Amino acid sequence: MSTLSGKTIVITGASRGIGKAIALRCARDGANIVVAAKTVEPTPRKPDTIYDAVKEIEACGGKGLAFQLDVRDGDRVTAMAKAAVETFGGIDAIVNNAGAIMLTPVEYTPLKRYDLMMGVNVRASFACAQACIPHLKKSDNGHILTLSPPIDMDPRWFASHAPYTISKYGMTMLTLGLAGELKSAGVAANSLWPATTIATAAVEMLGGESMMAMSRTVDIMADAAYAILTSDSRENSGNSYVDEEVLRAQGVTDFDKYAVKPGHPLAPDLFLPGAHL
């Protein structure tokens, strides 16, 4: 396994939650991190800004670039890739972490919200990958990592929230397409999904304190993402990974350290066996 020292990692939605955790894990190797997110001014609901994330990255030993980005804006996505190359000399990985969620059926999903999920989830993953591909091809270990689930065509994943499911499965389908398209260039494309719910603002919004207590911390996703990003891009592509499986393959056996409440029952995440709607 290589390290990420001197590598440049672009991460969308990296000002907080899973995105920031991945950024800090990579920064501990001495990586360059492009924090691509919207928040530049703190608010009660979103107190962490892209500038705060860069400070934490640099405190960990990495280098950071704060770049304000709405991932639905194609021009800004292009500018982000350009800024990354101008600042750090290239791009070695793009992590498509930004996401939008609304767990409602078709009848009760406003078209505006459907467009938001499609724009932030599948379209933005496409745009960010497309903007980074020319630079990833120049890397000696280029990776595209997208936070999306294994595809399970069980009707229950569509009956209650088809709009969200379509957007997330679209991201995984993009991973499969990119893996084939970029195989000869040695650029990997993989997806990563958590085995359990993760203690983020989105989970708290959906399930409150009880769901948070049944979740794992963002660190498990960060460690799993790191393992993928440091793997050989020519040997490891086209996979739909689950975080726990990645870490077990790395020899990890203690998963209590990731639990918000060690010993407390855990809630399987959506799209996985045992998950509840």
Domain assignment of residue 51, yes or no: yes
Domain assignment of residue 265, yes or no: no
How many beta carbons lie within 10 A of that of residue 197, not counting itself? 23
**Of all residues in the chain, what percent are helix, strand and coil, respectively (each to 5)?**
45, 15, 40
pLDDT at 85: 98
Catalytic machinery residues: 164
Domain assignment of residue 234, yes or no: yes
Q: What is the DSSP string of 214-228?
A: TSB-THHHHHHHHHH
- Measured CA to CA, the distance from residue 60 to residue 44 in angstroms comes to 26
Domain assignment of residue 135, yes or no: yes
DSSP helix/strand/coil, 203 = helix
DSSP helix/strand/coil, 156 = helix
CB 209 within 8 A of CB 144: no
pLDDT at 45: 81
Structural domain total, the chain:
1
Domain assignment of residue 3, yes or no: no
pLDDT at 221: 98
Domain assignment of residue 263, yes or no: no
pLDDT at 277: 55
* Strand residues in 61-215 grouped as ranges (E): 63-68, 93-96, 143-146, 188-193
Which domain, by its residues, includes 131?
8-258
Q: What are residue 66's DSSP bridge partners?
A: 35
- Measured CA to CA, the distance from residue 224 to residue 230 in angstroms comes to 10
pLDDT at 142: 98
pLDDT at 204: 86
Domain assignment of residue 268, yes or no: no
Q: What is the pLDDT along the chain (277 residues), one digit of tens a residue?
A: 579 999 999 999 999 999 999 999 999 999 999 999 999 998 888 889 999 999 999 999 999 999 999 999 999 999 999 999 999 999 999 999 999 999 999 999 999 999 999 999 999 999 999 999 999 999 999 999 999 999 999 999 999 999 999 999 999 999 999 999 999 999 999 999 999 999 998 898 888 888 899 999 999 999 999 999 999 999 999 999 999 999 999 999 999 999 999 999 999 999 998 886 5
- Is 0.75 surpassed by the pTM of this model? yes
Domain assignment of residue 267, yes or no: no
**Run of H or E residues at 81:** helix 74-88
pLDDT at 206: 84
CATH code of the domain covering residue 17: 3.40.50.720
